[in-house]
Amino acid sequence: MNTVLSSGKKGVISLVLLAALIILVHPVAAGEEGAGPPETYSPEACPSPLPLENFTHPRDWYISATGTGNYTTLHEIPEIGAGDTIHLWGVENHTYDGGIAIDAPDVTVTRWEGSPVQPLVTSAGNTTPAFTVTADHATFLDLDISGNRLNYDNSRGAGINAAGDPGAPLRGLTIIDCTFAGNAVEGNTTRGGALYTEYVDDLQVERTAFRGNFVAGGPGGGVYIWRCENATFTDTGFISNRAMAPYGGGAYFNESRNAAFTNVTFFDNYVWGCAGGARFEHCDAATFTDTVFIDNEALSNCGGAEFEDCDALALTDTSFTGNEAWGSAGGARFWKCHNTTLTGTTVTGNTATKWYGGGVDFSFCENVTVAATTFTANSARYGGGIYFAGCENATVTTTSFIDNTAQLGGGAYFRWCDAPVLITSTTFTNNTAREAGGGAGFEECTDVMLADCRLDNPTNLYAETSAGVLNTTRTPGTNIAGGPYLGGNLWLRDPAQNISEWGIDADGDGICDLPLAIDGFGTDYLPLVSAP
């Protein structure tokens, strides 16, 4: 270009620069004439490129496989600054190279609106995650972050690795409408096949699928979340993820309080250790609503999920279905989890092949409440439906045990529970035990209250070195048999304990005139009469 320009040439150049600025601010939208993908003008395409230090932020960056004026790779972006948005145009069978560092706050990486498919981001070389986040409020929208692999010891999160510091955690990592598939971390002491977060508070994951991810030599086939407060997972699926060892085929959550899971599915995940679907450790005050653990498997214990040292858990309208553990706890285990509640939960078709708790295993927990929950067709050696060991202040109410099987305690088995166990308004129907206690079994439980329950099993109760109160006082109110007074329990079917079918009720109050004594346990002084 000449050093001295005529006024006419200066005018032409000014018009060109003005047009470039307009295009930069208002890119052509997909579907408009000249779009496919839309063309934008990146700063480097200007006739007079700006020096790197002159870039202002926030700004938009546009990346597409083709398109005049657009960057074609993420690595061509000169500088990612605070508040920037990176738009990726998704094209079938096209991959954008990852290995991108997000080290400025409030950065968004998103699918370019109108692109036909999710843009695929895969990091080449097996040495860096697709995205490494070290700044607050990073957002990933509608991306396919798949096929990433890390193959070295201590690798973490092949798709996204986000890490803050103990004294300065990151804030606000958001992942929405994304796909993580076929990511893997391999080597010793690895974590989180697709996603790894450490000291990241307010993590938000919505409408995202973690599918077919893998970790070798560590926990969390799909994700590993460590020391992250207030994480939320909504409308998200963990599907067919694998962990070689030791925990969490689908996911592992560790020391992360106040996590919330809503409409989350853990399906067909597998672990060579414990917790096929997910493991939660030191995760106080976690809530689960409309969450499903289905067809997960653990080579050791806890086919669906494992909860360890998690206080104040609340599971509502959650289900454990078809999970399998080769040891104990086919559906789920709660270990030293105090003040836990299960409400409206469904536990169906889970198996603990060798030991305890086909459906659910509660061990050494205080203040547990199971309400309005159904246990159906679960199996184990002890406690086909549910197993309690060393628990204090356990309450089971308005709950159903149906068609569960075990060697002892087909429906439920209570063991070493010295503090009160309260079982009320609960039905035990067609549960079977190969030895004894088809409905329920009690071993070394010294403070049991069983009242207003319906027991209709080939064998109802078995007790050993235990003591129970089997009725309340005679009080007006509709009992579980439909009679006018509350008192004891409805005893059916078991030839040794079916007094409710034949007992005399001379005064017609719906209560048998004779008591029923259960060896090694206690006496129901007010057994209910079966309705005609």
Going from the C-alpha of 235 to that of each of 139, 162, 209, 295, the distances in angstroms are: 17, 22, 9, 18
Averaged pLDDT for residues 52-71: 84
State the Cα–Cα distance between residues 514 and 523, nearest whole angstrom.
11
Burial of 199 (0-12, 13-18, 19+ CB in 10 A): middle
Confidence class of residue 53 from pLDDT cuts 50, 70 and 90? Answer: low
Residue 492: pLDDT over 90: yes
Confidence class of residue 218 from pLDDT cuts 50, 70 and 90? Answer: very high
So what's the pLDDT on residue 125?
Answer: 86
Residue 87 β-bridge partners: 62, 110
Mean pLDDT of the chain: 91
Higher-scoring residue by pLDDT: 309, 54: 309
Averaged pLDDT for residues 71-98: 97
Confidence class of residue 66 from pLDDT cuts 50, 70 and 90? Answer: confident
Averaged pLDDT for residues 233-240: 99
So what's the pLDDT on residue 38?
Answer: 60
State the Cα–Cα distance between residues 97 and 88, nearest whole angstrom.
12
Higher-scoring residue by pLDDT: 6, 241: 241
Distance of CA 301 to the CA centre of its chain: 17
Tens-place pLDDT, residues 20-33:
333 333 333 333 32
Confidence class of residue 126 from pLDDT cuts 50, 70 and 90? Answer: confident
So what's the pLDDT on residue 46?
Answer: 32
So what's the pLDDT on residue 269?
Answer: 99
- Residue 6, Cβ neighbours under 10 Å: how many? 9
Confidence class of residue 54 from pLDDT cuts 50, 70 and 90? Answer: low
Averaged pLDDT for residues 294-302: 98
Q: Are 432 and 438 in contact (CB under 8 A)?
A: yes
Global confidence as pTM: 0.91
Burial of 222 (0-12, 13-18, 19+ CB in 10 A): buried
So what's the pLDDT on residue 15?
Answer: 32
Averaged pLDDT for residues 475-497: 98
Residue 142: pLDDT over 60: yes
Going from the C-alpha of 516 to that of each of 16, 429, 529, the distances in angstroms are: 98, 19, 12
Burial of 114 (0-12, 13-18, 19+ CB in 10 A): middle
Residue 525: pLDDT over 80: yes
So what's the pLDDT on residue 12?
Answer: 33
Higher-scoring residue by pLDDT: 277, 32: 277
Averaged pLDDT for residues 378-400: 98
Distance of CA 269 to the CA centre of its chain: 12
State the Cα–Cα distance between residues 264 and 269, nearest whole angstrom.
14
Residue 197: pLDDT over 50: yes
So what's the pLDDT on residue 45?
Answer: 35
Confidence class of residue 217 from pLDDT cuts 50, 70 and 90? Answer: confident
When computed from its CA atoms, the radius of gyration of the chain, rounded to whole angstroms, is 30
So what's the pLDDT on residue 24?
Answer: 32
Averaged pLDDT for residues 392-419: 97
Averaged pLDDT for residues 320-327: 99
So what's the pLDDT on residue 70?
Answer: 86
Going from the C-alpha of 264 to that of each of 205, 251, 267, 277, the distances in angstroms are: 10, 12, 10, 11
Confidence class of residue 268 from pLDDT cuts 50, 70 and 90? Answer: very high
Closest CA to 80 of 153, 131, 8: 131
Averaged pLDDT for residues 178-203: 97
Tokens of 294: 């289905």
